[in-house]
């Protein structure tokens, strides 16, 4: 590897991005409580939907701008895109924090600023693909998996520590967590400005092709492929349910059990801790013993039970074992399902197929929070979780049917030997 400081910067960039998400997500309902003062009835009655829309706006910007920032980094180099993205991320957290002092501008203006902050954060957070490209630039092929594994570690640590840190800092003030995330971003920009070299020489840069800037093209590339259609459908149903929970849970626990921001933050840290344990330590042994197919079915079953238990909970303590089942199941499903997709296609198709599946998953990160918020406001607090259990049961049915056919001995294409354990380090938490 060319430069330890360069890889340290990349690690910190991904870590800060996920740390910021982990810090802000459990606190979103507290920021949005300002709608209760609105004279516009619709705002006051749809807090869960607004929280979902804030989460969805971030995910939508990542979906739309990931190919754009990737193409810009191919054209102008990785360094300027990474530094600009990190600066924008810091500014977005700063705006987010300052909304608490701008209530005199009116409820609608404050909500608009919250959306602006999340939109900017989503655009700038789309630089993860650029960070991956930087690692590919500076590492030889035989060390690339190790470099990409560093990104997976940054994801896991960021999402685990972010909620816990946010919970602690929110005892100081509601602004403190977002201000801390902004400070980290600006500190990393300073570090990168002085220590991050450009990884892509000028003679290797390329002009962006318009077709590569269209995120829908990746969806179309895989949607008609019969080999992966059941896995895409299962992944869509799984991510639609899980994204809804991630966005809606702080509102649910607040409304039904009067959880504080600190309690919500530590539940999210609990989810992150289980994900790190399962995907970082247990998945290799589980795959070796049971295989990806059985782990996928078992994980979806655990998640469906956990979702139903969450929606039917009658006391706050019940949420911990219920969410524990969800986190355990998710940690089993995510790498296993990705591995099953990779094993269904030839080695030369890995990048395009997995990229297309990830695009579908990104869209579910937009649709899931909106759907959960709508169900919450229209049908009641438990509705998103009962509906989510139904989605997971449907995913289980689809995948069980597909995997049963797969085990029947039909011929398969020559596939790349990618297993779930090799997927762990490049999956998003």
Q: Are 188 and 200 in contact (CB under 8 A)?
A: no
Rounded to whole angstroms, the Cα distance separating 174 from 166 reads 9
Rounded to whole angstroms, the Cα distance separating 400 from 296 reads 9
pLDDT < 70 stretches in the chain? 1-3, 126, 141-149, 152, 206-214, 218, 221, 346-352, 354-355, 405-429
Closest CA to 403 of 290, 311, 308, 327: 290
Q: How far is CA 8 from CA 14, 85, 129, 134, 135, in A?
A: 10, 17, 16, 12, 11
Half-sphere exposure at residue 4, Cβ-oriented, CA atoms within 13 angstroms: 0
Rounded to whole angstroms, the Cα distance separating 424 from 280 reads 7
Closest CA to 293 of 415, 416, 397, 403: 403
Closest CA to 137 of 84, 79, 62, 61: 79
Rounded to whole angstroms, the Cα distance separating 86 from 91 reads 9
pLDDT of residue 1: 42
pLDDT of residue 210: 52
Domains for the chain: give ranges and CATH numbers. Answer: 1-213 (1.20.1250.20), 217-429 (1.20.1250.20)
pLDDT of residue 310: 97
pLDDT of residue 421: 47
Token couple for 93: 């957290």
Dump pLDDT digits (tens) for 205-238: 765 455 556 677 767 767 777 788 888 899 999 9
Closest CA to 26 of 261, 238, 241, 184: 261
Looking at the DSSP bridge assignments, the partners of residue 415 are: 346
Rounded to whole angstroms, the Cα distance separating 150 from 11 reads 7
Which spans in 139-282 are helix H?
Answer: 141-169, 176-195, 215-223, 229-257, 261-277
428 phi and psi, to 5 degrees? Answer: -75, 140
Dump pLDDT digits (tens) for 151-202: 767 777 887 788 888 888 888 888 899 999 899 889 888 988 888 888 777 7
What is residue 415's three-state secondary structure?
Answer: strand
pLDDT of residue 398: 93
């Amino acid at each position: 590897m060319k430069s330890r400081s360069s890889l340290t910067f990349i690690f910190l960039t991904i870590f800060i991005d996920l740390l910021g998400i982990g810090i802000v997500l459990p606190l979103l309902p507290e920021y949005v409580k300002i709608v209760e003062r609105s004279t516009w009835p619709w705002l006051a009655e749809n807090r869960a939907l607004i929280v979902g829309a804030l989460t969805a706006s971030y995910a939508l910007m990542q979906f739309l701008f990931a190919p754009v920032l990737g193409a810009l980094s191919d054209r102008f180099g990785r360094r300027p895109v990474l530094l600009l993205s990190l600066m924008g991320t810091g500014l977005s957290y700063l705006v987010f924090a300052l909304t608490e002092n701008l209530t005199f501008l009116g409820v609608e203006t404050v909500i608009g600023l919250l959306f602006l902050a999340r939109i900017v954060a989503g655009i700038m957070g789309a630089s993860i693909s650029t960070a991956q490209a930087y690692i590919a630039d500076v590492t030889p092929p035989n060390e690339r998996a190790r470099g990409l594994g560093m990104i997976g570690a940054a994801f896991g640590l960021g999402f685990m520590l972010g909620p816990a840190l946010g919970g602690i800092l929110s005892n100081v003030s509601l602004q403190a967590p977002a201000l801390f995330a902004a400070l980290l971003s600006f500190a990393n920009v300073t570090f990168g400005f002085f220590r991050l070299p450009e990884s892509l020489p000028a003679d290797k840069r390329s002009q962006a092709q318009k077709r590569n800037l269209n995120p829908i093209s990746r969806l179309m590339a895989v949607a008609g492929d019969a080999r992966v259609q059941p896995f895409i459908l299962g992944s869509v149903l799984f991510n639609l349910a899980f994204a809804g929970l991630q966005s809606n849970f702080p509102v649910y626990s607040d409304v039904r059990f009067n959880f504080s921001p600190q309690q919500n933050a530590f539940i999210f840290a609990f989810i992150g801790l289980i994900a790190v344990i399962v995907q970082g330590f247990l998945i290799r042994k589980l795959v070796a013993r049971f295989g990806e197919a059985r782990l996928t079915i078992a994980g979806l079953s655990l998640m469906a039970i956990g979702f139903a238990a969450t929606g039917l909970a009658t006391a706050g303590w019940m949420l911990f074992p219920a969410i524990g089942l969800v986190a355990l199941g998710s940690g089993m499903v995510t790498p296993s399902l990705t591995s099953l997709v990779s094993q269904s296609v030839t080695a030369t198709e890995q990048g395009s197929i997995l990229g297309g599946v990830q695009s579908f998953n990104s869209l579910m990160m937009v649709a899931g929070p909106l759907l959960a918020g709508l169900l919450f406001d229209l049908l009641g607090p438990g509705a998103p979780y009962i509906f989510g259990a139904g989605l997971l049961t449907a995913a289980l049915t689809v995948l069980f049917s597909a995997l049963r056919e797969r085990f029947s001995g039909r011929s398969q294409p020559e596939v790349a030997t990618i297993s779930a354990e090799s997927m762990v380090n490049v999956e998003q938490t």
